[in-house]
Amino acid sequence: MAILSTLLTALLAATAAVAHDDSPGALSRRAIHRLEARNLLSACSQKLRARELVEPRLARRAELLETHFRKRGLDALQMPILPDGNSRQPVPCILTPEVTVGPYYAEEELIRSEISEGQEGIELLLDFQFVDVKTCLPVPNAMVDIWHCNTTGTYSAFEVEHTVGESFNRGLQPTDQHGIMHMKTSFPGWYQGRATHIHLAAHINGTIDSETHTYKGGVTNHIGQVFFPEDVLEQVDVTAPYNTITVSRLRNSDDSIFLEENTGYDAVAGKPYRIPSRRKSNRS
């Protein structure tokens, strides 16, 4: 059965900003930074399981799932309670600002909660919580910037992609008082030389332009890429339109950016939960 819709949860641990450059000095600073962040994150592990953090996380996730169960005509009473303590738990990903913003970042994208602009593909609901590893507290009021290629591997808004003037799969959403943000998109495809990934950056202290629905100024203090478990990607590979992509998909373990991000902590988001499709009949 094809996957129609998935919920991806991740706990994203934010650390302080460092500008990106590839000099030997910068590389060693990045290695030190990652090590520090990892240590800080493990020092937070107890606090991250505290009720004050877990309860809002579960409540907001249940709210999101319920909305999508109802939309499909599914009985919300049959909605699973996704526990925080098994394979579906949010995996802490450290957002290292040293990881490259990449060649496909576009500024001043729209603040909106759905970004796929109706393109064909597996619906993907992102449920991310941002935590500051220095304080172990959620990061409220951050503006989270998401961008990724479409289901057949093309980025919008770039001349090399022949997509100037297009804005699919780009958008921003703020974190709430619990550091949680939700975004609806479509599961990304892939392109030459990269594993499947979603880019994200968090901005703070900028201003929202309520007329244009864009975000300006402020500081970008966290940049990262989120990756997916290989067994999930194998199911996506055989689903349309992903099965029309002709370039081969790199596995996470062959992706240099994954290898840089995934040292000492986990850059793979928690195993996505597959939302059942609408029941076609009342057979039981």
Ligand X SMILES: *[C@@H]1O[C@H](CO)[C@@H](O)[C@H](O)[C@H]1NC(C)=O
With contacts defined by CB under 6 A, name the span among 43-51, 82-90, 104-112, 150-158 that binds ligand X: 150-158
User: Per DSSP, which regions of the chain are E strands?
Assistant: 5-14, 91-95, 123-132, 137-138, 143-147, 170-174, 180-186, 197-204, 207-209, 214-216, 219-227, 273-274
Question: Cis bond leading into 241, ω under 30°?
Answer: yes
**Does 140 contact ligand X by CB under 6 A?**
no
Residue 83 dihedral angles phi and psi, to the nearest 5°: -70, 160
Could you tell me which residues come within 8 angstroms of residue 238 by beta carbon, excluding any fewer than 6 positions away? Answer: none
**Does 252 contact ligand X by CB under 6 A?**
no
Helix, strand, coil percentages in the chain from 3-state DSSP, rounded to 5: 25, 25, 50
Site string for ligand X, 109-138 (x = CB under 6 A): ----------xx------------------
Nearer to ligand X, 45 or 243 (CB): 243
SS3 36: helix
Among 5, 9, 89, 154, binds ligand X (CB under 6 A): 154
Nearer to ligand X, 239 or 263 (CB): 239
Nearer to ligand X, 120 or 234 (CB): 120
Min dist. Cβ of residue 204 to ligand X (A): 6
| Sequence-ordered alpha helix ranges (H) in the chain | 24-48, 51-71, 230-237, 256-261
SS3 282: coil
Distance CA 164, CA 177 (A): 36
With contacts defined by CB under 6 A, name the span among 47-55, 122-130, 149-157, 206-214 that binds ligand X: 149-157
Residue with token string 């594993």: 195
Nearer to ligand X, 162 or 280 (CB): 162
| Closest C-alpha to 222, from 53, 101, 107 | 101
Among 66, 111, 123, 163, binds ligand X (CB under 6 A): 163
Residues 200, 203, 209, 214, Cα dihedral to 10°? -20
**Does 239 contact ligand X by CB under 6 A?**
no
Site string for ligand X, 208-237 (x = CB under 6 A): -----------x------------------
Min dist. Cβ of residue 121 to ligand X (A): 6
Report residue 230 as tokens: 């290989």
Nearer to ligand X, 203 or 271 (CB): 203
With contacts defined by CB under 6 A, name the span among 33-41, 47-55, 64-72, 144-152 that binds ligand X: 144-152
**Does 262 contact ligand X by CB under 6 A?**
no
Min dist. Cβ of residue 142 to ligand X (A): 11
Among 140, 174, 241, 264, binds ligand X (CB under 6 A): 241
Interaction site with ligand X (CB under 6 A) = 119-120, 150-152, 154, 163, 166, 204-205, 219, 241
